Amino acid sequence: MFPLQKTKRALIISILVFFIVFSLNAFFVFFIYKERDVVSEMKEGFITELKKEKQLSSIKNLIKTTEKEQTNLNLCFVANDAVVDFIKSIETMSKNAGISMSIKSVGVSDTETIKEIPVETLIIEFMTEGSWVNTYNFLSAIENSTYEITIDQMSIDKISDSVTGKKTWKSVFVIKVIKI
């Protein structure tokens, strides 16, 4: 009976080793599947970040390639910190045209929304006095300015001085320009 006990013992040891190996195998398979999910999440996160980086790079490239157009566009509008410079440029235009000018009012209209972007409009009212040709030259200078100026109101009157007989043109202008 001795050889039968050896066989039983070998069989029991084999079964125990099988269960231990099976348990370890099941543990490692479970561990691998768990880590696979973590790796998969990390891979998805990496791909998402890679796409964001590519989009950011594309946007930076677009900004860089449109620098000239941006500069030209900025010349059309009055910056918040350039209102005084804009008013001085209007005064310079009047001097260059040979007319006298006095500003009656400067204001900002309520914020409007243009294509879902809030913008303010700078409104300037001023009076001029000079000859017809000089007034016309001033008006042309305003219209041909790099700024996108809209003449909202304009009134031109011819005034004759009864003593000297000199004829001058007095004008009142209200202009608008977008302020960014």
72 within domain boundaries: no
- Please tell me the total count of domains within the chain: 2
pLDDT of residue 59: 84
- Please indicate, yes or no, whether residues 84 and 171 belong to a single structural domain of this protein: yes
The pTM for the full model equals 0.56
- Going from the C-alpha of 163 to that of each of 28, 47, 137, 167, the distances in angstroms are 111, 85, 27, 11
pLDDT of residue 9: 81
- Please indicate, yes or no, whether residues 84 and 137 belong to a single structural domain of this protein: yes
pLDDT of residue 117: 67
- Three-class secondary structure of residue 39 per DSSP: helix
Domain carrying residue 83:
78-179
Q: Give buried/exposed letters for 17-45 (b at 16+ CB in 10 A, else e).
A: eeeeeeeeeeeeeeeeeeeeeeeeeeeee
pLDDT digits (tens, 9 = 90+) for 90-130: 888 888 888 888 888 888 876 666 566 667 788 888 898 88
- Please indicate, yes or no, whether residues 57 and 109 belong to a single structural domain of this protein: no
